[in-house]
Amino acid sequence: MLTETNYQPSWAAVFPQLTVAESTRLGGVSTSPFASLNLGLFTDDKAAHVQQNRERFCNDLGWPVARMAGSFQIHGDQVLRVNNPGQWEGYDALVTNRPAILLSVTIADCTPILIYDPVAQAVGAAHAGWRGTANQIATKTMLLMRDAYGSRPEDCWVYIGTCIGAKDFEVDADVADHFIDEYKEWDPTRNKFLVDLKKANRDQFLRLGVAPERIEVSPFSTVANTDRYFSHRAERGLTGRMIAVIGMKS
């Protein structure tokens, strides 16, 4: 489901007590180059604008912004188990089995990954850039949910959200060498490799045993759809940030 401020995977409708969504760049108060729904805490936008935008986004989803949990991400593969809302540093994925906590990851080309286990009642959110993808952060998030909450991959639902698309992610060999041939192709017209982050992350869940019909992949690209999404690459680093969120309402 697509609204002005957020996009939700189709399977979200199956679970009315669950919130699973990613923001767009629309419907906020920030001015150029952060126009308009910039939710990034660590951008050069006015802090008051970011706070107002976060309140709008959360209100549209029926959550108070004070119930959010997030982290200053470092493009790593560390996953944190959280029991309370708040802000951390150094983690690129969060998991919880507590209701009334809205896990969040910040994005502007990297892949957001949201996981829900309706049996164990647990959720996970991961930020998978190319480094995180290559270092299997999706797998590590799922495995921590297994170890911490007893989650089984076959019970889980996954949303692989909007990121830089496979036809837009041009890289040199220093990045492409981190991926097997299945996830990259050489484009002689651009003299670049093209890497498919969505497929690389989706396949991690398939290998773990998540059913393919329970994995939904965003049809959008941050680079190709800058009318609706921020793109760090397309906008040369001076832009806003989206967030992807998942949480169980109490």
Q: Where are the alpha helices (DSSP H) in the chain?
A: 47-61, 130-134, 137-149, 173-176, 197-208
Superfamily of chain region 6-248: CNF1/YfiH-like putative cysteine hydrolases (3.60.140.10)
Q: What is the pLDDT of residue 3?
A: 86
Q: What is the pLDDT of residue 90?
A: 97
Angstrom distances, CA of residue 94 to CA of 97, 111, 127, 225: 11, 14, 9, 27
Q: What is the pLDDT of residue 1?
A: 79
Encode the chain (250 residues) as per-residue pLDDT tens digits: 778 999 999 999 999 999 999 999 999 999 999 999 999 999 999 999 999 999 999 999 999 999 999 999 999 999 999 999 999 999 999 999 999 999 999 999 999 999 999 999 999 999 999 999 999 999 999 999 999 999 999 999 999 999 999 999 999 999 999 999 999 999 999 999 999 999 999 999 999 999 999 999 999 999 999 999 999 999 999 999 999 999 999 9
- How crowded is residue 24: how many other Cβ atoms within 10 Å of its Cβ? 24
What is the full DSSP assignment across 82-105? Answer: -SS-EEEES-SEEEE--TT-EEEE
Q: What is the pLDDT of residue 170?
A: 98
CA angle 31, 34, 100 (to 5 degrees): 110
Q: What is the pTM of this model?
A: 0.98
- Rounded-to-integer distance, Cα 7 and Cα 27, Å: 13
Domain residue ranges in the chain: 6-248
Structure tokens that stand for 162 in this block: 């909007």
Sheet hosting strand 6-7, strand order edge to edge? 6-7, 18-23, 242-248, 102-107, 68-72, 86-89
